[in-house]
Amino acid sequence: VLPPIRGDIAFRRVVFEYEPGRPALRGIDLTVRPGQSVALVGHTGSGKSTIINLLSRFYDPTGGTILIDGYDIRDVTVHSLRSQIGIVLQDTFIFSGSIRDNIRFGRLDATDEEVEAAAKAVDAHDFIMKLPDGYNTEVEERGSALSMGQRQLLSFARALLANPRILILDEATASIDTETELKIQEALKVLLKGRTSFIVAHRLSTIRSADHIVVLDHGQIKESGTHEEL
């Protein structure tokens, strides 16, 4: 079982092959300090999602190790690992149920006050209150009642409420209007504060605000540094 972590992450010569002989990652060395944010950038197929898949333990490395606070993540239970990692994927997961239950997913013990506080912190409260039944409004899994931007804000509220030490974010590529875009940027700042985060970043604003940028190319780190350095 993984004890409560600070959020120190290290990849040591990590190699991964989905199929034998076709490495998706070819020796990744990466150290991230607690609270730092890393933006992963690179062409399609360069290995961004693979890094996230390994960190969440959807797969285990073919070679090398991944350490969290010095623990090899293969030595801890998947459950204890995932309970301290928040994952916000591109195709934001909304299930059929109320807005409140969607935010509370992963923190079923959260009170209504806590749910609202999380929604307010990411600036989702106002649009929720304009829905027919506010927090009790029922939404559908694939329903179009919510815009992409609204779904993204809901997933941020959900992640904030769960309060994980490590946050993984596969940023949505969908075009969003300027106003929502600004809201999301602000919400992202709130969400990332004090957590170690890995972001597959598509927006320049996100890349700029990351502490560290890692440029992947064919499964290797081509460049890394701050936005100023690159």
C-beta of 167: minimal distance to ligand ATP in Å?
Answer: 18
Residue with tokens 């059929």: 96
Query: If contact means CB under 5 to 8 A according to the sort of partner, which of Mg ion, ligand ATP, none does residue 47 touch?
Result: ligand ATP
Query: If contact means CB under 5 to 8 A according to the sort of partner, which of Mg ion, ligand ATP, none does residue 46 touch?
Result: ligand ATP
Query: If contact means CB under 5 to 8 A according to the sort of partner, which of Mg ion, ligand ATP, none does residue 58 touch?
Result: none
Q: How far apart are the first and last CA of the chain?
A: 39
C-beta of 44: minimal distance to ligand ATP in Å?
Answer: 3
Residue with tokens 């602000």: 186
**CB closer to Mg ion, 103 vs 213:** 213
**CB closer to ligand ATP, 44 vs 144:** 44
C-beta of 49: minimal distance to Mg ion in Å?
Answer: 3
What residues have CB less than 8 Å from 43, skipping those under 6 apart? 217
C-beta of 209: minimal distance to ligand ATP in Å?
Answer: 20
The binding site for ligand ATP (CB under 6 A) comprises 18-19, 24, 42, 44-50
What ranges in 107-215 are assigned the alpha helix state H?
Answer: 112-121, 125-129, 148-162, 178-192, 204-209
What residues have CB less than 8 Å from 74, skipping those under 6 apart? 60, 65, 66
Strands 166-170 and 85-88: parallel
What residues have CB less than 8 Å from 228, skipping those under 6 apart? none
**CB closer to Mg ion, 116 vs 171:** 171
**CB closer to Mg ion, 48 vs 165:** 48
C-beta of 149: minimal distance to ligand ATP in Å?
Answer: 21
Report the 10 Å Cβ neighbour count for 55: 20
Distance CA 56, CA 160 (A): 18
**CB closer to ligand ATP, 55 vs 99:** 55
Query: If contact means CB under 5 to 8 A according to the sort of partner, which of ligand ATP, Mg ion, none does residue 45 touch?
Result: ligand ATP
The binding site for Mg ion (CB under 5 A) comprises 48-49
C-beta of 26: minimal distance to Mg ion in Å?
Answer: 17
81-97 residues labelled b (16+ CB within 10 A) or e (exposed): beebbbbbbeebebeee
Query: If contact means CB under 5 to 8 A according to the sort of partner, which of ligand ATP, Mg ion, none does residue 141 touch?
Result: none
